[in-house]
Amino acid sequence: MSTISAEMVKKLREKTGAGIMDCKEALADSNGDFDKAIDFLRKKGLATASKRAGRATSEGVIGSYIHLGGKIGVLVEVNCETDFVAKNKDFTEFAKNIAMHIAASNPVGVTPEDVPKNIIEKEMEIYRAQVREMGKPENMVDKIAQGKLNKFFKESCLLDQPYVRDPNITVQDVLNELIAKTGEKIQIKRFVRFQVGE
């Protein structure tokens, strides 16, 4: 096993924001492989996130971002369990970064459940027409259209979108890392995006 230097731990901390002991454990587990250590921390974040899923989130902040000289504005509500975390620099920065992400990628909802029914129906109608145009058998139309709808959700729902500051990870991954770091349930509750002329 390779030795884990303080420099490696420091580098991993800077990249992930995880605690010193978590970084040491991740590097030891991955035999000093930096990318594997990041994956290890992500999985740990996911495990922490799922453990906290049932908790109440009654504290939080409204993150905001104004872009293009006032042409696009975003407000996003991010909730957590305690006032202590709500005032934490990482938490408030996360809310601001998510507002910036929303300004850039214009999601239609936080999760597929937030997408209005009329949008889903309209998308399905378009996909069915496209599938019929391809000459696919009628019994396959709905199945293929549903597959296209799932792809639409991945591209259009906030948590599934590639994160604008690091497209190799999703917004959900960034959220899981923050949950692991703070030890609290954190939730992106809702957002509104204004664009001049829309």
Q: Read off the CATH number of the domain in which 72 is found.
A: 3.30.479.20
Condensed to tens digits (0 to 9), the pLDDT of residues 43-102 reads 776 555 555 566 666 799 999 999 878 899 999 999 998 889 999 999 999 999 999 999
Looking at the structure, tell me whether residues 35 and 95 fall in a common domain: no
Q: Is 45 part of a structural domain of the chain?
A: yes
Give residue 1's pLDDT: 45
Looking at the structure, tell me whether residues 94 and 177 fall in a common domain: yes
Condensed to tens digits (0 to 9), the pLDDT of residues 138-159 reads 889 899 999 999 999 999 999 9
pTM of the model: 0.69
Confidence of residue 15 (pLDDT cuts 50, 70, 90): confident
Q: 68 versus 191: which is more confidently predicted? A: 191
Looking at the structure, tell me whether residues 166 and 96 fall in a common domain: yes
Number of domains in the chain: 3
Whole domain around residue 123: which residue ranges? 116-155
Q: Is 1 part of a structural domain of the chain?
A: no
Tokens of 93: 């920065």
* Whether pLDDT at 117 is above 80: yes
